[in-house]
Amino acid sequence: MSQSVSEKGHPTGLWILFGTEMWERFNYYGMRAVLVLFMTKALMFDKAFASNLYGSYTSLVYLTPLIGGFVADRYWGNQRSIIAGGIVMALGEFILFFCGSTYASSPDLSTIFFFSGLGLMIAGNGFFKPNISSLVGQLYPKGDRRIDPAYTIFYMGINVGGAIGPFICGLVGDTGDPADFKWAFLAGGIAMTISVIVQLLFHHKYVKGPDNKVLGLTPPNAPVVWVKPIAMILGLAAFSSLAIGLLYVDAKVFSYLTYLLIAAALTIAFMIFSDTTLSKVEKERITVIFIVSFFVIFFWSAFEQAGASLTFFADEQTQRDLGFFTVPASWFQSLNSVFVVVFAPVFAWLWLKLGKKEPSSPTKMAIGLMLLAIGYLWIAIGVKDVGTGIKVSMIWLTGMYALHTWGELCLSPIGLSLVNKLAPFKYASLLMAVWFLANAFANKLAGVLSALYPDGKTTHFLGYSMSNNYDFFLLFFVMAGVASLILFGLTKRLQKMMHTEEFQK
């Protein structure tokens, strides 16, 4: 027996990957929970600049895995990429710790530390993120019934980290004293270091395939020169420098990222649709992926306000004083992960229970957009006619995050699965890149929209004026609601274009 597990149990390797991913997500979401607060309260950036920078950062976080996945597949292998990416991310957090320690005494130095730390987080994530998920399925024989439950367990690991990270980082960093933000970055760096240690100590012993061979090692035919330590260090240094430069230029010189994303999407579309070897059916399925990815932009650009405008709202306009303790604003970013852990089994049960009445994938995604819109309607009602300086109950944010999580559970795993099922084998990776491009575009748009947060002034978007939070939240209600209705209207057509019996429900 390869991993001393029965057919019913899961290999020990799954728990090693679970732990590696959990600590990395602790690091990422913990740091993200305090990022805009650190920018506005310590570095004294204005909210619009902080929002746009947040959008550029999270957008690039979704772009770099395209490079990291490519390098791992051809040169480094999964495990080496995970460890390299993890070390770079840990270094990024420790540099942000120095930024948080020097912003008052040496502002110019702290600015260098700030962009360098974020750039290293972007570069490291590029190597870590795409490589750990792909190992989960390789632990099992083809067609093993445990694969779906394994991904569910792994997804729980992501959300356990996503819940604990903002909680711990908020507790030590979001205290009301800007000098304490550095402790949140230090906590993130320690968590990332633990993630790397788990990989180093246990991967070779436990992360093995059904044939008992260690997974994620150097790919066959990989040039030996690329895996030599000096070549890896130079490659990572160059990639990290590029990430720092890309972020700095977009934030401070010229906001090019939107154009880059549009160009990338059009280039991929041209490459695929000009391929004469693809059949009409395959091209129609690929068209579905592009259409669905477009609608996903509307979902995530509203959903990702969590790390930007909704954090400002939690900090300034939510009554968080319990009398004996003031809830840190960053804690609200734990809610999404907590709700995922609570409700994911409910949704899995619901789809099974519906049987033949289960909605098609595009319909589920339209429902997800509608739930997101209702979440914004809920919080808009909560702030309607509330005077300046009046804080509202935490129930409004909490209820909104619950509705958003239900929307995410209808849209995110369903969309990912749809791309996997519809993509022709030869373009599987490239079409997954389309999905990530949509996420990158959405995160950039999230920052642009967060910059319109009224905050005592009137802002405008496509002729729509926003002078208070009610107007601002209504924008997302209308945007997601209209996108949802259009997608509902397209579902029958999309189902026909899929040409797959299992989608014809």
Q: What is the 3-state secondary structure (H, E, C) of 442-460?
A: HHHHHHHHHCCCCCCCCEE
114-125 pLDDT per residue, tens? 999 999 999 999
pLDDT band at 6 (very low <50, low <70, confident <90, very high): very low
Asked if residues 25 and 128 have their Cβ atoms less than 8 Å apart, the reply is no
Supply the range of the domain harboring residue 143: 7-255
Asked if residues 131 and 69 have their Cβ atoms less than 8 Å apart, the reply is yes
Per-residue pLDDT at 431: 85
Handedness of CA 480, 484, 486, 491 (dihedral sign): positive
Out of 2-6, 184-188, 224-228, least confident range:
2-6
- Does some domain include residue 115? yes
pLDDT band at 502 (very low <50, low <70, confident <90, very high): very low
User: Quick one: average pLDDT of 215-238?
Assistant: 89
Residue 370 has pLDDT above 90, yes or no: yes
Instruction: Verify that 176 and 295 share a domain, yes or no.
Output: no
427-451 pLDDT per residue, tens? 877 888 888 899 999 999 999 999 9
- Does some domain include residue 24? yes
User: Quick one: average pLDDT of 218-222?
Assistant: 85
Type of residue at 1: M
Out of 3-7, 44-48, 66-70, least confident range:
3-7
Out of 101-105, 202-206, 273-277, 479-483, least confident range:
273-277
- What percentage of the chain carries pLDDT values higher than 70? 97
Per-residue pLDDT at 2: 44
Which among 407, 199, 226 has a CA at the least distance from the CA of 302?
407
Residue 260 has pLDDT above 50, yes or no: yes
- Does some domain include residue 178? yes
- Does some domain include residue 306? yes
Residue 305 has pLDDT above 80, yes or no: yes
Last residue within a domain, chosen from 255, 285, 317: 255
**Model-wide pTM > 0.85:** yes
Q: What CATH number does residue 470 fall under?
A: 1.20.1250.20
**How many separate domains does the chain show?**
2
User: Quick one: average pLDDT of 162-190?
Assistant: 96
Residue 138 has pLDDT above 90, yes or no: no
- Does some domain include residue 353? yes
Contacts of 120 (CB under 8 A, 6+ apart): 88, 89, 91, 92, 95, 240, 243, 244
Instruction: Verify that 198 and 316 share a domain, yes or no.
Output: no
